[in-house]
Amino acid sequence: MNVAETVALVTGGASGLGEATVRMVVDAGGRAAILDRPGSPGETLARDLGERALFVPADVTSADDVDRAISRVVERFGTLHVAVNCAGVGVAMRTITKQGPMSLDLFAKVIAINLTGTFNVIRLTAAQMARNAPNAEGERGVIVNTASAAAFDGQIGQAAYAASKGGVVSLTLPVARDLASVGVRVMTIAPGTFDTPMLAMLPEEHRQALAAQIPFPSRLGQPAEFAGLVRHIVENPYLNGETIRLDGSLRMPPR
């Protein structure tokens, strides 16, 4: 699919990797819906990007919220071709702490947002994409998920986060197989350490220490590089059912 001719829904689209993806789609000539929490900068971003952008506030764990958001996208832009799942949370806590075992509610919250929320968006956007007329390749849509290098190299304190992102990796192939019959491709990107607003809050010496762990290039990833890979996935019809690590060959140490 040519990004310039697509309508994309990006969860977590108000900041970080999601914002970079939204900007890429609009800059390429496509139209983008920013799905993020109410009170996020999504409305401001959509206003700045103009008529080819739309903010749809929603909680990815809510079936009703996401369903309403998709309806608004279709009402505004006529269809939906691409979904990019960037919404997520990162929580660090050891399985056992000095205060006792890790909160089960906290573990469940991370799974609910990062894994269940991703699948919620997949199932609902795929149902909408299945209504599209196929292009010359037989494609009706493309879904790109966001996992993490932690899915493979989870660090101390990342049991919940690594499990949630490992789940995203594991569902990629079976969902791609599920959706093959309707012409919807499914891919996942597993980023390493990226220069996002979350990392921007760290002291500079900590940021430099993180960058030094990356073999080459020895720096933090740029959100535009993530967005560039999203574009390539959308425009390369033979990419399907796979997870691509985007991490400068980083293999995360235990801590």
pLDDT tens digits, 229-251: 999 999 999 999 999 999 999 89
DSSP β-ladder status, 100-101 and 96-97: antiparallel
Give residue 174's identity as a one-letter amino acid code.
Answer: P
- Inter-residue contact 173 to 237 (CB < 8 Å): no
193 or 83, which is more confident:
83
| Active site residues per annotation | 161
> Which of 26, 35, 40, 90 has its CA nearest to residue 62?
35
Give residue 206's identity as a one-letter amino acid code.
Answer: H
For the chain, give every domain's residue range.
3-195+222-244
The reported pTM is 0.95
> Which of 18, 6, 71 has its CA nearest to residue 42?
18
pLDDT tens digits, 83-97: 999 999 988 899 999
Q: What CATH number has the domain spanning 3-195+222-244?
A: 3.40.50.720
